[in-house]
Structure 1
């Protein structure tokens, strides 16, 4: 059975605060854990008014303390922003705190504008994207998986003094380049289909055709992401998807702001003549059964072993209801209620 997981951007809604957004993420992760979703990833974005998730390791540590069984990870850490040793130490510590539950998803884009990226790196010339493969090899070696003749940084440094397990390293991407790097290194690969890319199948074909077995993975393993909203009926789901489509337009026109209400979204979309072409915001809407069917078809078409869903909404209760409806339609195994565990 295809696994089902969650990606959370910790979006900030109009009229609410970053604290509200992170409290919503906490509740959503706990719900996903109880419902039987396989993993829960949080993203990294900087200097964006609609995203509170600036530090995945900090947020993952918090979520690990309030969940029981779900895997937790980054979707992802943008490696050009940080020295590999820093990332390795952070995730080695997370793995020590929550052994067997930590994923380190790595991206090669900065996840922000050039000025913010330069501020993060304390200089525009440091840790450029062009050096990504070398920094990735160093990161792998620091986590006990050397890929160079001299062992990389792992030959001289330790990410943690006495590790017994290591986080699972994933490569994230939205292009054929990332797919080929993941294949060459024998890493699991997550494709950002929720970006609306038309190249999902081509990238995954590159990944599978070029895959080289490694000490961490014997055969290809792929996740595809999708932006979804499930509701009681199709009309309600479409209405609730309005805020994501306004955000998509804001990203295209560089007019960024908090996630608006469905009522405000309807007015704004009418002003611009409807949802922006090529940037659908929410890709799949409808009842739980309709969304589940669409995701199963996506998994079939892409041959992905796992589908990861994300929802851009103004009200966190909409994201929670989406996970509940989708879990029921997918046939996930929820954790027994507290009063039933003794039996």
Structure 2
């Protein structure tokens, strides 16, 4: 059956045990090319810092690399953690990407730090400013709308003659939904790690929405975590890498992504098992039919326009297989 919504991917550039970091970086290119071939709509990279299992610390570099190796796929950030950066730098970086790959770039923005407190201090994140202030500055740089008396009104954004790509606001609690609607940008909800029901956030976004040139109508996206394999049993076995990784991360232990064999040998503390028991209800794990039915139910409950899938597996080949199985079961037309 054909999906009643667009399907897209998020890549965290995971670094698996037994794999070098350069190999993990090369895998981002292979996955982008496979996503393009399979017919997915877009591919986004998250921004994370200080995590030995994740290589996506600088999304714009990965975006440029993936865009250069694909032809049809929209490539973007999911998202740039805006408080980590001067808004002018983000305006310059994403105008540059838009100029290099016109009509194929997305700018997703998040308010979270993308790392722990130590990483935030190393990045000098926030500087005491509010996210809304940073967002307003970013949009003012792009629109050249600072009032004449503002000191930034004398700062031209380079490269000129290019506008920022379509902007999305990322949320996990609904707090930013109305703001995204009022700004007339896209809204993406992180249902892959948030237990907050997404439907009320989408309703608030649609209610507040003001049309813009980039978004003449509301555009909603829900991100979900998926592990798909030919059978429910295999998918459940493979997903244990993600489960143990999450439990270790949430209890202060960090390491590269373990194989399922290695993960099953880990002796978990009661606290770590509790983390898995709590979080696993959000993960969609199973055969293509199981995954399809679960995604359809979640998407229908929130009436979303697009579903973005993120998959964490130790084997890069099996991760690509998972995305291929999902594309096939939803009837996505391959691009050849």
TM above 0.5, one fold?
Answer: yes
Shift of 1:282: 6.8
Alpha-carbon distance in structure 2 between the residues aligned to 1:241 and 1:190: 24
Residue number among 41, 44, 58 corresponding to 2:44 in the alignment: 41
**1:79 is aligned to 2:86:** no
Equivalent in the alignment of 2:158 = 160
Question: Residue in 1 aligned with 2:205?
Answer: 207
Higher mean C-alpha displacement, 34-43 vs 172-181: 172-181
Deviations 1:59-80 (A, max 9, x none): 1111111111100000111000
Q: Secondary structure at the match of 2:247?
A: helix
Shift of 1:111: 0.8
Matching of residue 268 in structure 1 with residue 253 in structure 2 = no
Question: Structure 1, residues 279-302: CA drift from partner, whole Å, max 9, x if none?
Answer: 118711122232122212211111
- The separation in 1 between residues aligned to 2:53 and 2:282, in whole angstroms, is 16
Q: 1:172 aligns with which of 170, 173, 182?
A: 170
State the Cα distance separating 1:164 from its structure 2 match.
4.4
Equivalent in the alignment of 2:60: 57
Residues 108-151 of structure 1 deviation map (CA, whole Å, 9 limit, x = unaligned): 11111122112112xx6x533x52112111112222385x7669
**Pairs within 5 Å for 1:77-156:** 77-121=80-124, 126-128=126-128, 130-144=129-143, 146=145, 155-156=153-154
Structure 2 residues without counterparts, runs of 5 or longer: none
Distance apart, 1:267 and its partner CA? 2.3
Q: Any idea what the Cα deviations from partners look like across 1:288-317, whole Å, max 9, x if unmatched?
A: 232122212211111110000001110111
3-state DSSP class of the match of 2:27? helix
Contact 1:100/1:165 (8 A) holds in 2: no
User: How far is the alpha carbon of 1:158 from its aligned partner?
Assistant: 3.4
- Shift of the 263–30 alpha-carbon distance from structure 1 to 2, 3 Å rule, reads same
The within-5 A match list for 1:289-300 is 289-300=289-300
Note the residue ranges of structure 1 that are not aligned, 5 or more in a row.
337-343
TM superposition shift of 1:325: 0.7
**Structure 1 residues 327 and 199, CA gap change in structure 2 (3 angstroms):** same
Counterpart Cα distance in 2 of 1:51 and 1:19: 12
Retained in 2: the 8 A contact 1:241–1:282? no
- TM-aligned CA distance change 1:301 to 1:281, over 3 Å: closer
Match of 1:341? none
TM-score normalised per structure 2? 0.92
SS class of match (2:203) = helix
Q: Residue in 1 aligned with 2:237?
A: 239
CA separation in 1, counterparts of 2:56 and 2:151? Answer: 29
Separation (CA, whole Å) in 2 of partners of 1:9 and 1:33: 17
Residues 1:150 and 1:313: Cα distance change in structure 2 (over 3 Å): farther
Q: Structure 1 residues 271, 177: CA separation in 2 closer, same or farther (over 3 Å shift)?
A: closer
Cα shift at 1:269: 6.3
SS at match of 1:176: coil
Compared CA separation, residues 192 and 153, structure 1 to 2 (3 A): farther
The residue aligned with 1:340 is: none
The match for 1:314 is 314
Moved more, 104-113 or 292-301: 292-301
**TM-score, normalising length: structure 1:** 0.90
Flag the 1:211–1:152 CA change in 2: closer, same or farther, 3 A.
farther
The answer as to whether partners of 2:48 and 2:54 remain within 8 angstroms in 1 is yes
CA contact (8 A) 1:186 1:214 kept: yes
Deviation, 1:187, is: 1.2
Is the alpha carbon distance of 1:110 and 1:49 closer, same or farther for their aligned partners in structure 2, counting shifts above 3 Å?
A: same
